[in-house]
Amino acid sequence: MFQENTSDNYLNSVALICEDDAFQKKGHSKRTLSPEEAEKLARDQALFEDQKLTVLEAGCGVGNCLFPLLEEDLNIFAYACDFSPRAVEYVKKNALYNIERCKVFQCDLTKDDLLENIPADSVDVATLIFVLSAIHPDKMHLALQNIYKVLKPGKCVLFRDYGLYDHAMLRFKSGSKLGENFYVRQDGTRSYFFTDEFLSHLFMAVGYEQVVNEYVLRETVNRKEGLRVPRVFLQSKFRNPVVLQTQRYFGVK
């Protein structure tokens, strides 16, 4: 009993400090709102419910990530683009494709202006999942600049791609190397293998700020053949800084 009283006295003391000399009342009945307060609260709730998360999937392929994402969260509107016109047409023919939930278009991120399809500063989150590695290192910054223009201030790009010395890099045959950490596959597609330092410099040179940038080390096991394959990925998050956007708005250099 003494312990309960002590706890009650402590809570009362904290409340008195926080509320100064304000009147306090204990009880088990909830507070009754005035008609004006109830109306204001209802408006606030409706506004929150109507809010949607706008996503850009750069390099959407045939929609293997896009459609599960839209099914999972009904408050998402997605922009999705891909270099391949065939992939874009495949997405549009999917039974789940709905122009009220997503807009899909063909785009070369290094040449085609995203502003032709997406309003400036309108995207809450952009994804670059195994996309940047297929672009020539000299042109990667162009893709990042393109995305930067449509990303809201304070919002992020989510990145995942091949890391240096991933098993896929070690499997390339002689004659496949195009440049430092840059290779070409037999089908003509290319693959770059990132270091965290290179990626950080790449994003920050465009104007992003680093939030997370780390290696993910995994091991793929083929029990039938008794093989253990080391996989190395780079998983990162870079943000469009609010400060830079504010300075740009007010014309501050």
| 16-20, 93-97, 138-142, 214-218, range with the lowest pLDDT | 16-20
Residue 209 in tokens: 């700020």
Residue 44: which pLDDT band, with cuts at 50, 70 and 90?
low
* In the predicted structure, residue 29 carries a pLDDT above the cut 50: yes
Q: Which of 67-71, 204-208, 234-238 is least confident? A: 67-71
What local confidence, expressed as pLDDT, does residue 227 receive? 85
Spell out where the chain has E strands.
53-58, 76-82, 102-106, 123-129, 151-162, 177-179, 182-184, 190-192, 209-222, 227-239
Mean pLDDT of 227-251: 80
Q: Which residues is 236 bridged to in the sheet? A: 159, 213
Q: What pLDDT is attached to residue 42?
A: 67
Is 80 exceeded by the pLDDT of residue 251?
Answer: no
Structure tokens at 201: 């410099």
11 pLDDT more than 50 = no
**pTM (2 d.p.):** 0.75
More confident residue, 198 or 25: 198
Residue type, 72: E
User: Can you say whether residue 44 is alpha, beta or left, with left for phi > 0 and alpha for psi between -120 and 50 degrees?
Assistant: alpha
CATH 3.40.50.150, domain 108-240, yes or no: yes
pLDDT for position 18: 37
Say whether pLDDT at 241 is over 50. Answer: yes
Check whether 153 has a pLDDT greater than 80: yes
| pLDDT, position 36 | 77
The angle formed by the CA atoms of residues 146, 104 and 162, to the nearest 5 degrees, is 55
Is 70 in contact with 102 (CB distance < 8 Å)?
Answer: yes
| Per-residue pLDDT, 52 | 85
* Percent of the chain scoring above 90 in pLDDT: 70
User: Burial code of 111-140, b = ≥16 C-beta within 10 A, e = fewer?
Assistant: eeebeebbeeebbbbbbbbebbbebebeeb
Q: Looking at residue 185, what is its pLDDT? A: 94
Q: In this predicted model, which residue has the larger pLDDT, 7 or 128?
A: 128
- Mean pLDDT across the chain, nearest whole number? 84
Residue 9 has pLDDT above 50, yes or no: no
